[in-house]
């Protein structure tokens, strides 16, 4: 049984994690001592904790090398969740290709490595870094904006970053996205998320502003999200927490936009009280 837990955040994320004010008191009521700590704080004694759980380490893309070194250090002295091999795989959105090969319906995605020229789809599309969080560095473009999109791609590539290009599905402007949350491999709850991406400009803050609401996922959405979780489970073991972001394609079918295993918001304010209980139970389990 876990009795002392590190809730791992980032310095600039303090006060912005909407899950934290609900989860930390619930964990404390369950008899777990919880410290909200910053991942790069040298004063933190990680070996003092039974478990370190990544929650709002939203600045890691800007210091990826330092973050990877930190993962190696922490996993040697405490139980890191999710575990490091799973995190390393999920840090780079090229995992979408692995999901696609495993038969999971994912959003059509083109990967552009540094030094390669991009090819854009017809219509509206999105450019995003392969390693990123909170929609930082992401922008949408129209069919007449290929030149400025190439500048965006080149800027990311010059920083040594691989680039993803995805069609901007028309349903996103109407329906938004549907994050489905899983605890210990089991579906818990869902939300509806709306993020307005800048047209031909990037988000440079820690994360993009969102409008969120509760959502009751249908059986088809849960089945697609579960497919992604099953791929993770077979490859790395059961994730303690996971979020699968779905969108609807032009045929009306759910597709995986992203799979979040590192530091996803869990939309606890939009969930029922049962969801909080499930999360606490997952965090307590040995």
pLDDT digit string (tens) for 219-270?
999 999 999 999 999 999 999 999 999 999 999 999 999 999 999 999 999 9
Q: What is the pLDDT of residue 211?
A: 87
Contact 51, 22 (CB under 8 A): no
**pLDDT score for 206:** 45
C-alpha span between 184 and 194 (Å, rounded): 26
pLDDT in tens, 156-193: 999 888 999 999 998 998 899 999 999 999 999 999 99
H/E stretch holding 282: helix 273-284
DSSP string, 110-143: EEE-TT----PPSS-EEEEESS-STTTT-EEE-T
Sole residue written with tokens 């901007």: 168
pTM: 0.91
Q: Are 280 and 23 in contact (CB under 8 A)?
A: yes
pLDDT tens-digit readout, 196-208: 665 655 545 545 5
Rounded to whole angstroms, what are the CA distances from 260 to 73, 76, 90, 223? 22, 23, 7, 17
Strand-pair category, 125-129 with 110-112: unpaired
The Cβ of residue 108 has, within 10 Å, a number of other Cβ atoms equal to 14
Q: How many CA atoms lie within 13 A of 139 on its CB side?
A: 20
pLDDT in tens, 116-128: 999 999 999 999 9
d(CA 167, CA 125): 4
Q: In this structure, what are the phi and psi dihedrals at residue 241, rounded to the nearest 5 degrees?
A: -140, 150
Q: DSSP strand E in 159-201: where?
A: 163-167, 178-183, 186-194
The residue written with tokens 């922008």 in the block is 139
Query: Could you check whether the bond before residue 143 is cis, i.e. omega within 30 degrees of 0?
Result: no
Mean pLDDT of all residues in 23-41: 97
């Amino acid at each position: 049984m876990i009795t002392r837990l590190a809730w791992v955040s980032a310095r600039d994320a303090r006060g912005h994690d909407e899950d934290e004010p609900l989860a930390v008191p619930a964990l404390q009521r369950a008899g777990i001592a919880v410290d909200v700590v910053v991942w790069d704080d040298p004063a933190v004694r990680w070996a003092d904790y039974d478990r370190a759980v990544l929650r709002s380490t939203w600045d890691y893309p800007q210091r990826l090398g330092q973050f990877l070194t930190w993962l190696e250090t922490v996993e040697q002295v405490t139980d890191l969740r999710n575990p490091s091999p799973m995190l390393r795989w999920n840090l780079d959105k090229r995992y979408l290709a692995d999901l696609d090969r495993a038969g999971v319906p994912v959003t059509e995605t083109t990967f552009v490595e540094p030094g390669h020229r991009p090819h854009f789809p017809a219509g509206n599309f999105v450019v995003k870094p392969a390693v990123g969080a909170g929609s930082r560095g992401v922008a949408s473009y129209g069919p007449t904006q290929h030149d400025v999109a190439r500048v965006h791609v080149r800027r990311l590539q010059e920083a040594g970053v691989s680039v993803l290009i995805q069609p901007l599905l028309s349903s996103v402007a109407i329906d938004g996205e549907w994050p489905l949350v899983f605890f210990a491999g089991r579906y818990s709850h869902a939300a509806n998320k709306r993020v307005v991406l800048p047209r031909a400009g990037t988000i440079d803050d820690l994360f993009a502003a969102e409008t969120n609401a509760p959502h009751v996922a249908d059986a088809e959405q849960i089945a697609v999200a579960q497919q992604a979780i099953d791929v993770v489970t077979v490859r790395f073991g059961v994730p303690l927490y996971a979020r699968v972001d779905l969108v609807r394609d032009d045929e009306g079918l759910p597709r995986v936009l992203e799979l979040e295993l590192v530091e996803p918001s869990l939309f606890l304010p939009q969930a029922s009280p049962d969801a909080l209980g499930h999360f606490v139970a997952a965090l307590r389990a040995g």
